[in-house]
Amino acid sequence: EAGVAQSPRYKIIEKRQSVAFWCNPISGHATLYWYQQILGQGPKLLIQFQNNGVVDDSQLPKDRFSAERLKGVDSTLKIQPAKLEDSAVYLCASSTWTGSGGYTFGSGTRLTVV
């Protein structure tokens, strides 16, 4: 079974620039999550999709972050404009509807904003 694919692996941008991350979940997983992991901290949920609908985006900074899940499969997360404090690893995960099967994480995208 293929895992959760994310790209790019690394990205360095200047503050105020825009950036986009891509995620392809495990086939058949209805739920997709984007997490932000700042160095030295645990991952924090940014947004959760159920198929192509948003379930929870309460911690997404909507003035600069946006996300979509096309046709309930792939997803993109965008930051515009980026700030220095956005430097983090952005993790994508997917799970079955019940969640009890566990959550599979991608390798993440390490973003550095300079």
Partner 1 sequence: AQSVTQLDSQVPVFEEAPVELRCNYSSSVSVYLFWYVQYPNQGLQLLLKYLSGSTLVESINGFEAEFNKSQTSFHLRKPSVHISDTAEYFCAVSEVQGAQKLVFGQGTRLTINP
Residue number with CB closer to partner 1 (47 or 79): 47
Q: Which residues contact 87 (CB under 8 A, 6 or more apart)?
A: 38, 39, 111, 112, 113
Stretch that binds partner 1, among 11-19, 20-28, 48-56, 68-76 (CB under 8 A): 48-56
Residue number with CB closer to partner 1 (91 or 111): 91
Question: If binding is defined by CB under 8 A, does position 36 make contact with partner 1?
Answer: no
Q: Minimum distance from CB of 23 to partner 1 (Å)?
A: 12
Residue number with CB closer to partner 1 (15 or 57): 57
Compute the distance between CA of residue 67 and CA of residue 75 in angstroms, rounded to an integer. Answer: 7
Q: Which residues contact 111 (CB under 8 A, 6 or more apart)?
A: 11, 12, 13, 19, 21, 79, 82, 86, 87, 88, 89, 90
Q: Which residues bind partner 1 (CB under 8 A)?
A: 31, 33, 40-45, 48, 55-56, 91, 93, 95, 98-100, 102-108
